[in-house]
Amino acid sequence: MQDLLRAMGHPVDILGMTTQGDQILDRSLSKVGGKGLFVKELEVALEEGRADLAVHSLKDVPMDMPEGFDLACVMEREDPRDAWVSSQYATLQDLPPGAVVGTSSLRRTVLLRALRPDLQIEPLRGNLDTRLRKLDEGQYAGIVLAAAGLKRLGLSERIRHIFSTADMLPAAGQGALGIEIRTARNDVRQILSTLADTPTWLAVAAERAVSRAMGGSCSMPLAAHAVFHGPVLDLQAAWGNPDDLTAPLIRAHSQGEVSSLAEAEDIGLSAAKQLRAQGAR
């Protein structure tokens, strides 16, 4: 991001920060305030004028922006899929029954259980280095991480296998970067406009609309992923029950021609309606 802005002739300084989401590692995100913990301190810096913009992994951004803040730009998406990381096993299917798999996500938990109900799924918190260290120490037979994060940090060699979206449907916004600004900063909005990727923005708008309609919380075991086929946006969504290991996944599919954010959000609302009709709550 900073390289792109500098190439456009804008000076860039990085304001280093550690958020509450990075600091609280002994409890799941759903029990300590959700993914908004990764965003809150950055919004304070924007409000106080210490920062002009904040770059977020879009899957960590709450579905509704606080008053006075806007999502000003969504950049071209990196790989949205989930990655299997293990020093011993090439794929999830190679694991012996009862093996321990680490993940921080309720979504991944229900999808992993659907694929391998015989495995032991355990919480995994911390930044990327911490999670990899815990794996290397032998606390887990393997862990599941976002492929985009590993690739962006030059850690592609740690990926043993990338799950298909048919097996592990991504989270809403996964792989995309969203840039947040204060609503009044039209000067920054104008600068960012050339970095926006319209197909990505429309796809994630549909995905986030599903999540918003279902409650918009990280305590939801929800997956939503949209891709364009020509002018048609095709959205898949899935919902699982983390409290009932025998419950099947609930799935939804919605599609239509999309050229605006409102049309994309309608696709997402249609998928959410299908999920609720099948019992997702």
Q: What residues are annotated to the active site?
A: 60
Q: Which phi and psi (to 5°) does residue 162 adopt?
A: -110, 125
Q: 195: which 2 tokens?
A: 């970095």
Cα–Cα nearest to 63, from 179, 205, 216, 252: 216
Distance CA 207, CA 170 (A): 10
As given in the structure block, the two tokens for residue 268 are 């997402």
> Would you give the end-to-end CA distance of the chain in angstroms?
37
Q: Tokens 């190679």: give the residue.
A: 94
What interhelical angle do 261-277 and 198-214 show, nearest 10? 30
User: In 3-state terms, what secondary structure has residue 72?
Assistant: strand
What is the spatial distance between Cα 210 and Cα 128, in angstroms, rounded to a whole number? 27
Q: Are 145 and 281 in contact (CB under 8 A)?
A: no
**Euclidean distance between CA atoms 38 and 191, whole angstroms:** 24
Q: Which residues pair with 256 in a beta bridge?
A: 233
Amino acid sitting at position 92: L
Phi-psi region of 75 (alpha: psi -120 to 50; beta: other; left: phi over 0): beta
Burial of 201 (0-12, 13-18, 19+ CB in 10 A): buried
